[in-house]
């Protein structure tokens, strides 16, 4: 009976991570809330390994959905580097800005991650940052930008990159922060969304490279392997469908459901957390 409860716990956490990672409501914040209010968490040294694992599952979902964009960017960037064809310059510049936009989160993460985990992972902090996320989404609710992939500039990349770094704080949504910053810089919804998830790829890969060894150390028996496999599959499936849904929402430009949700949950957490 106890092991079946563990299965349900890992299934729930996988679904929670998977559904909240792509949409602008903060997956890290929701995992903290689940641990506090529901008593559902991965204990001890396995917590970091679990976080790396489910982030990898979300990353795979993003790679599957954006596989055609990634193939186009890689092909045309390599062709530009080889042939210097002006027709491919826009894609090559977009790839350069993905690299540059990744730097702020990577640097600030290495410098301040321990500090953030020590001081900014409380339930009240998550409530406040969810309210901030909701307000930011409310600000861009009617924006209609014009910038497309080839129109991005260095300033856009750095500002969106620093916005991604803010999402190191639980409750600040990574996708929300980057999309808000992108649209405030004049990007249209599709470009802001695509650039947001292109930035997610190298950051997530970096985390896997740095911390992936923890997964191998955490999997010490067949039961743990089964639990991690369940969480991985649940996260992948939930991330895939959540991102597909979010892409459809962004096409119609209606973020109301997300900022209302962040306001309600944020205020409830601050009042009762």
Report the distance separating Cα 148 and Cα 251, nearest Å. 14
List, for residues 94-122, the tens digit of each pLDDT value. 999 999 999 999 999 888 888 887 888 89
Closest C-alpha among 63, 66, 55 to residue 20: 55
Contact (Cβ atoms closer than 8 angstroms) between residue 20 and residue 54:
no
Q: Provide the pLDDT for residue 87.
A: 87
Mean pLDDT taken over the chain: 92
Contact (Cβ atoms closer than 8 angstroms) between residue 164 and residue 105:
yes
Q: Whose structure tokens read 């998830």? A: 197
Q: Provide the pLDDT for residue 194.
A: 96
Closest C-alpha among 212, 211, 204 to residue 174: 204
- Report residue 38's pLDDT band, with 50, 70 and 90 as the boundaries: confident
Contacts of 40 (CB under 8 A, 6+ apart): 9, 12, 13, 34
Contact (Cβ atoms closer than 8 angstroms) between residue 258 and residue 132:
no
> Span 24-52, mean pLDDT?
85
Residue 44 pLDDT > 70:
no
Report the distance separating Cα 238 and Cα 241, nearest Å. 5
Share of the chain above pLDDT 70, in %: 99
Share of the chain above pLDDT 90, in %: 71
Residue 5 pLDDT > 70:
yes
Q: Provide the pLDDT for residue 18.
A: 97
Q: Provide the pLDDT for residue 70.
A: 97
List, for residues 223-249, the tens digit of each pLDDT value. 888 999 999 999 999 999 999 999 999
List, for residues 50-97, the tens digit of each pLDDT value. 888 899 999 999 999 999 999 999 999 999 999 998 889 999 999 999
Report the distance separating Cα 262 and Cα 101, nearest Å. 26
More confident residue, 224 or 178: 178
């Amino acid at each position: 009976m106890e092991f079946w409860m563990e299965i349900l716990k890992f299934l729930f956490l996988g679904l929670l991570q998977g559904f909240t990672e792509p949409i602008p409501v903060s997956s890290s914040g929701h995992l903290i809330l689940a641990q506090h209010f529901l008593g559902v968490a991965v204990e001890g040294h396995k917590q970091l390994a679990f976080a790396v694992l489910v982030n990898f599952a979300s990353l795979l979902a993003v790679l599957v959905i954006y596989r055609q964009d990634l193939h186009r960017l890689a092909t045309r960037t390599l062709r530009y580097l080889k042939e210097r064809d002006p027709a491919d310059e826009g894609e090559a510049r977009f790839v350069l800005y993905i690299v540059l936009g990744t730097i702020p989160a990577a640097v600030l993460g290495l410098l301040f991650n321990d500090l953030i985990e020590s001081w900014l992972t409380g339930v009240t902090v998550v409530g406040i940052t969810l309210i901030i996320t909701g307000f930011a989404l409310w600000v861009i609710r009617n924006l209609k930008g014009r910038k497309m992939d080839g129109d991005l500039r260095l300033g856009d990349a750095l500002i969106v990159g620093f916005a991604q770094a803010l999402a190191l704080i639980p409750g600040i949504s990574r996708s929300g922060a980057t999309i808000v910053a992108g649209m405030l810089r004049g990007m249209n919804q599709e470009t802001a969304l695509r650039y947001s998830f292109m930035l997610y790829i190298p950051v997530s890969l970096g985390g896997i490279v740095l911390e992936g060894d923890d997964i191998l150390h955490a999997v010490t028996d067949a039961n743990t392997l089964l639990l991690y496999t369940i969480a991985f599959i649940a996260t992948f499936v939930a991330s895939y469908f959540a991102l597909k849904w979010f892409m459809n929402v962004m096409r119609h430009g209606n973020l109301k459901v997300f900022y209302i949700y962040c306001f309600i949950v944020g205020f409830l957490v601050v009042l009762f957390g």
